[in-house]
Structure formats: structure tokens, C-alpha cells
Structure 1
Amino acid sequence: MIFETALEIIDRDGVDGLSIRRLGKALHRDPMVLYRYVPHKTDLLDGIAEEVLSQLRVDTTAGDWMSQLRVVAHDFRRLALAHPHVVPLLVTRPLSTPLALRPLGTLRPLEAILTLLTRAEFAPAEALDIYRSFFGFLHGHVLTELQEVVEQPDETDDVLRLGLHRLPLREFPLMRGLAPELASYDGAAELERGLDILLAGLQANLRPHGGSIDES
């Protein structure tokens, strides 16, 4: 209940809007009592990250590892869009914490994907390479998608909507020329295109131990 309520506060007011005092008020509890469960705000933030990632399901028994990674990717994107203020806790905050010191709940997707891939007969080191490439792409995608690109939503001209008219034309002709594409960004479609490229590259360069490369 503590982390669920804290997540509601962050969804509404952002990470800066969360404090033990506000959480206590929302729970109708004395803030001093909450310190028994979450001694520091960092513990609270770690618990929220675990709360969100507990919703990320990985079917470790799936027979098609690439299809399962697509499912995981879209599920992660769904969680990111549902809780945009939490994304830094999932993507950038862990980078400042040694792997073994991160909350166990944030490590379970890693273990699950390693299990999926080793069951597909990838060597553990190769499974780790796939995981790093996969989540490196996925984190970059959600951070890009959550960036606000439209400056003037009431404008009908894409260059004006995006504020690209402020860029010197001679220095940024390609960027200004891509205004329609930038303005019509489709996160789900872009994710699929990126996954096509990533998974095709992984499939071309890595093979499960039980598989073979067609040299014909």
C-alpha cells in the first residue's frame, strides 16, 4: 500500500512532489511510522521502481525468444507511458548504483530474460549481450518518445509547431525538411521498426548453440 500510494503521488506530481510527509498524509498515517518501513527517500524510490517493474512479465518458457522480446518491449513501453515520471527511476537511476546493490525487484527482468535466452540455447555471455543490446535500445526509445517535441500545438505548419523555424536553415536543412515526420511520430510503430533492425542484427550475428548458420 505504501508504494502504490507513493506511485500515485509521483504519477500526479512527479518525483519532486513526493515526500514522506505527503505520503503519510495520503495514507492517513503518522510520517514517523512510515520511517520504520522506508528510512530514506531513496528506499521509497527503489520500492516504487520495484512496484512498476513487477508488472513487466517475461515468459521464460516461450519457444520463440524474439517474439517474446517484442512482447516485453511493448509491455515496457506501456508501463513507461503510464508512469512517465517513474521512467528515470527505471532507466537512469540504476546506472549510478552497482548491479549487486540494486533492489532485487529491478533485477528480476534481467534474470528472467537471461533464463529465456539460455533456454533458447544461447551461452550465458551471449544472453547477457542480447539483454544489454535489447534494453539499451528500449531505454533509449522510451526516453526519446517521452520528450516533448511540439512547441506550438495550435500551429498547423509542422515547422512552426516544432519550433524548427528558429534553426538556421543553412545549418539544419535536413532537420527542418523532416518536420512532417517528426511531427507525426508514432511511438509504437517506431518501436517495431527499431526491433526489426535490432533483432535481425542479433539473429545474424548470434546463434543458439543448438542452431546452425545456413552457409548456402
Structure 2
Amino acid sequence: MAERKKDDDKDGQPSARTGRRAADHGRYGRLSRDRVLSTALELVDREGLSALSMRRLGAELGVEAMALYRYAPSKEALLDGLVEALYLELHRLLDEEGFTSPVAPDGAAPAPEWRSELHRITQATYQVALAHPQVVPLLATRMLAVPLARRPPAVLGEHESVLRLLLASGLDERAAAAAYRAVSAWVLGYVFADLQAMVDNPDEPEAAFRLGLHRMPVQDFPALRAITPALADRGGPEGLAAGLDAILDRWTPGGQGGAGGS
């Protein structure tokens, strides 16, 4: 009885303390940052970024929207949390025993460890991005909005890993920074190119009409019309690996035009 009095107001109603505690329990148990972010990721995967709001996420978790502000104090923080969730998934994938790049680095001789690991990281990034295409735009917009030092540790960890591998190749700090920009731009751009919207009418069995080629006048866009069917096919892991090899050959010591070249 004494315990009941402790949590009740004088009029017998639950106290604010009890209310706060109750608000912290969702439909499936106590809330946590991991549960909030994983549920947000599932919602965006299913319905897109436009469906994400504090009220909708609260409904998914079975709590009032206000209960979420302890874990994500704003919509922007929630978006940053989605980026963090992708990078956490990337780290989990890389930590899996036996995960290797589906495409071997170019060249007849065995690739050095730093090069093989860069291929492994980029291929894992590609795999995670394809699993969560609705979240991929945030990899650009949130990186443009959030200063480097304020990014989540999972994001910084990926940056750190890539830079250490480039330094291990023999590059100095300035050259490693330039190579890092090139690698980052290639991977992000490749993911965007592979995930770009191409199908105009998914119910149309004829490829030309499915892609909406009739909407592009042939006299104005002959090359685009001719190549669009090929653009509609994803480049896949092979294209990603080929581009990475070209960048590493350009920038790293021993590669054509690299830091060790003329």
C-alpha cells in the first residue's frame, strides 16, 4: 500500500513519474534507442521516407510521439539515426566471419591486404544500400548537413577504416585525402546510379514502353534513348569493383599515374 501511495498523487491518480514510466513502454516492451531506430528503418523500408514522422513512428511502437524525444530529440536526429543504423548494419556485415567481396580485385597477382579490404568494405556498403534503397538518399543529404565531427561513431568508424587502408597503401596524408574523396564519390555515385528510378510503367510488358522511351523525342535524345535499356540494368558488384580498381590504380603507389608514378 505504501508503494502505491508513493506513485499516486493525492487524488489517487497516477503521478507524472508513473506516467513517464508507462510512456516508456511500447506495444512490444520497453523502448530503447536500438528499437526506435530499427522500427524507423523498417517503416522507411516499407513505405519510404515521406511516411516517417514522430507520430507515425510512435504509432508503430505503440507509444505517444512525445515518448520518442528521449531517443531522437528532433526529426533531423531521427534521420541521422537512420544513417547510423545503415552504418551499424555495415559494420555487422563486415564483422561476419567469411564475408568476402564477391569480386576479386583486378590483377593476376594476389592483391595486398589493404586493397582487398577496401574491396570488401565497398562491396558491403553496396549490399547494405541495396537492402535499404529508401534510406540511401540520406547518405547524401545528411552528410551535407551534419559536420564531420558530429556524425555518429558508426559513420566515423567507416571513414577511419578507409583512410587507414589508404595510408597503408603508402600514400601520404594529402594524397590519402584525395584518394578518399575519389573512393567515396565513386561508391556513393555508383549506388545512386544503380538505384535511380528507371521504370515509367511497371505494368507495361514491352521494354521500350515500360521505360517510357516514347516520352523522349528521338530527334532530341537519340543517344539517351539507345542506351536507356542498358542503364536500366544494374551494374552490380562487378562494375563497382572495376571502378574501384581504376581509382586505386590512379592514386596509389605503383599504379598508373598514382603517387608512386611520374
CA distance in 2, matches of 1:179, 1:85: 23
Report the equivalent of 1:201. Answer: 250
After superposition, residues 1-216 of structure 1 pair within 5 angstroms as 1-57=35-91, 63-155=112-204, 157-202=206-251, 203-207=255-259, 213=261
Whether the 8 Å contact between 2:115 and 2:165 is mirrored in structure 1 is no
Partners of 1:33 and 1:156 lie apart in 2 by 48
**Residues of 2 paired with 1:180 and 1:16: CA distance?**
29
How far 1:123 sits from its partner (Å)?
1.4
| Pair 1:172–1:133, CA change in 2 (3 A) | same
Aligned length: 208
Distance 1:29 1:155, change over 3 A: closer
Residue 26 of structure 1: how far off its partner (Å): 2.3
Q: Percent identity?
A: 41
Mark the structure with the bigger radius of gyration: 2
2:67 and 2:47 map into 1 onto residues whose CA distance is 23
**1:122, 1:81 → 2: CA distance?**
31
Task: Say which structure, 1 or 2, has more relative contact order (CA 8 Å, 6+ apart).
Answer: 1
Change (3 A) 1:140 1:33: same
Q: 1:87 to 1:183 in 2, by over 3 A?
A: closer
User: Which deviates further from its counterpart, 182-191 or 142-151?
Assistant: 182-191
Q: Which runs of 5+ in 2 are unaligned?
A: 1-34, 96-110
Contact 1:45 1:89 in 2 (8 A): yes
Deviates more, 1:2-11 or 1:117-126: 117-126
Distance in 1, Cα, partners of 2:55 & 2:206? 46
Task: Go from structure 1 to structure 2 and tell me whether the alpha carbon gap of 1:181 and 1:32 turns closer, same or farther (over 3 Å shift).
Answer: closer
Secondary structure of the residue aligned to 1:149 is coil
TM-score (norm 2): 0.70
Asked whether the equivalents of residues 159 and 179 of structure 1 are also in contact (C-alpha less than 8 Å), the reply is: no
Shift in alpha-carbon separation, 1:77–1:104, aligned structure 2, 3 A: same
* Residue 190 (structure 1) shift: 2.8
Deviation readout 1:85-123 (Å, 9 max, x if unpaired): 111222222112222233333222111111222233321
